[in-house]
Amino acid sequence: MLGPIIRLLAVALVLALLALFARQAGAQDAQPAPALRANVTVTGEIVRIGDLVENAGAVADVPIFRAPDLGTRGAVTTERILAAIQPHQLVGVDTRGLSEVLVTRASRAITAQEISARVAQALAGQYGLGEARNIAVSFDRAVHTLHIEAGAAGELEVVALAYDPRTTRFDVSFDLPTSAVLRRLSPRYTGTALETIETVMVEHPVERGEVLKASDLVVERRGKADGTGLTDIKAAVGLAARRQLRPGQPLHEADLMKPPVVQRNDTVTIVYEAPGLTLTLRGQAQESGAMGDTIGVLNVQSKRLVHGVVSAPGRVTVSAATTRLVDNAPASAPAVRDLPSANFEQQHGTNSTE
């Protein structure tokens, strides 16, 4: 009686096992095959199988290589990868025709510009220096980008700072509590830092008397200790060089003048103005002058020197007020030929004989 029952149970067990094996086989067939990645980025110091191979399964977290240095990239051949994962029973890896895999070590980069800005921030408002944006920092040696852990947050902290206002030299050390790498590096920098101001300069040599255009000028930063000059290009455009100008020299108001519109020895028109009277004469400029300048002019007809205001190119205006100021006593009476005719009417009468 028990024999048939045992046989039935055995058959049922075999069928159940066959069904289980079938389900497992189907599950394995449904799982994607492992395959190499062409490019990989890692954050830690080691490279795991799962970093290099998709669908690595249970062996994904197994370390097989050391990662490249922070912020750098390296290549590992497909042959080396397959040899490294072979002991871990990962078979049937699709190489996708790749001969190598590129591995990049992620990092947070602290550039030379950031380091310079941090030095300026540390010095701002101290030692007689102004705002950080006006402080120019120069290092004794080339400053290279620092690569630290990608997850290291925060700003560089000043551990030690020394500054000599007389020599403008600084010595500073930084730390970043969230970065073990930076703590090992213990970055320290020395150099000079000084406050600067914007100043206008010529971009190329300019000769005396040449009128400046916007394209002739540039704004650069110079040490505040060098003195202040013009800070706005508009203040120099349209003016003439009072002397020869060279690049690298800050421009000052004294270096510029209004451009002359009358040159020495030019033939000009003298305009004499008085209440109700305007006369024009031909003259010769005895000196150069810009608009609004008072210059001496020779009356060509009378050979007399008068002074007037340059009112236009080739035009000098002499007013009654100007004449009184310039020719204020004890000048002799003007010659008859210098006086204008008033077209007097001749009146006839008798002379007194008393």
> What tens digit of pLDDT does each residue of 50-76 get?
999 999 999 999 999 999 999 999 999
Distance CA 75, CA 176 (A): 31
Confidence (pLDDT) at 279:
87
We report the CATH number of the domain holding residue 298 as 2.30.30.760
- Report the domain count for the chain: 4
22 within a domain of the structure (yes/no)? no
In the predicted structure, residue 325 carries a pLDDT above the cut 60? no
Residue-level length of the chain: 354
Confidence (pLDDT) at 224:
77
In the predicted structure, residue 339 carries a pLDDT above the cut 70? no
Same domain (yes/no): 187, 226: no
Same domain (yes/no): 252, 318: no
Q: Are strands 39-42 and 100-105 parallel, antiparallel or unpaired?
A: parallel
Residue pair 156/112 in contact (Cβ under 8 Å)? The answer is no
Q: Mean per-residue pLDDT for 284-296?
A: 87
353 within a domain of the structure (yes/no)? no
Of 148, 142, 143, nearest to 114 by C-alpha is: 143
Same domain (yes/no): 150, 204: no
Distance CA 261, CA 293 (A): 10
Give tens-digit pLDDT for 12-54.
666 666 666 556 555 455 578 999 999 999 999 999 999 999 9
345 within a domain of the structure (yes/no)? no
Same domain (yes/no): 45, 89: yes
Q: What type of residue is 160?
A: A
Same domain (yes/no): 98, 52: yes
For 305, the token pair is 């020197």
Please list the residues that pair with 289 across neighbouring strands: 262
157 within a domain of the structure (yes/no)? yes
Distance CA 6, CA 286 (A): 139
- Tell me the pLDDT of the chain averaged across its residues: 84
Among the three residues 217, 244, 259, which one is the final residue of a domain in this structure?
A: 259
Same domain (yes/no): 189, 140: yes
We report the CATH number of the domain holding residue 74 as 2.60.480
3 within a domain of the structure (yes/no)? no
30 within a domain of the structure (yes/no)? no
Q: What percentage of the chain's residues is helix, strand, coil (to nearest 5)?
A: 25, 35, 40
96 within a domain of the structure (yes/no)? yes
232 within a domain of the structure (yes/no)? yes
Same domain (yes/no): 184, 250: no
Among the three residues 106, 129, 158, which one is the final residue of a domain in this structure?
A: 106
Confidence (pLDDT) at 246:
93
Same domain (yes/no): 121, 51: no
Question: What domain range includes position 155?
Answer: 110-196
Tell me the C-alpha to C-alpha distance, in Å, between residue 170 and each of 138, 180, 189, 194, 235. Answer: 10, 26, 8, 10, 36
Same domain (yes/no): 114, 192: yes
Same domain (yes/no): 291, 242: no
pLDDT band per the 50, 70, 90 thresholds, residue 98: very high
Same domain (yes/no): 55, 80: yes
Give tens-digit pLDDT for 106-151.
999 999 999 999 999 999 999 989 999 999 999 999 999 999 999 9
We report the CATH number of the domain holding residue 250 as 3.90.1210.10
